[in-house]
Amino acid sequence: MKGILCRSLEQKLKLTLIYMDSSGRLSQRTIRVIGVREEDVLAFCYMKKQVRTFKQKNILAAHPCQGTLRKGKSI
C-alpha cells in the first residue's frame, strides 16, 4: 500500500480509496497525496474539500483515478 501512496505523491496522481473510519463506516474518497508518514497519509480529500489525515491501516484499497495514468507509467 505504501508503494502506491508514495508513487502517487511523486507523480501527483489522484487516487481513489476505500477507507474505513474509526467507527467502522466505509467510504470511497478521491484524494491527492501531500505526504506519507509512518502510520498515516496527509492528503487533500476532494469529497470534504480540505486536507485530511488518513490512517494507513484503515485504507482498504487504493488505485489511481481513471484517466490519471500517464503513458509508460505503471503503479
When pLDDT is cut at 50, 70 and 90, the band that residue 2 belongs to is: confident
**CATH for the stretch 2-64:** 2.30.30.100
Whether pLDDT at 41 is above 60: yes
Give the pLDDT band (50/70/90) at residue 18: very high
Q: What is the pLDDT of residue 72?
A: 45
Q: How many residues belong to the chain?
A: 75
pTM of the full structure: 0.81
Is the per-residue pLDDT at 74 higher than 60?
A: no
Residue whose grid cell is 480509496: 17
Give the residue from 3, 68, 75, 70 showing the smallest Cα distance to 32: 68
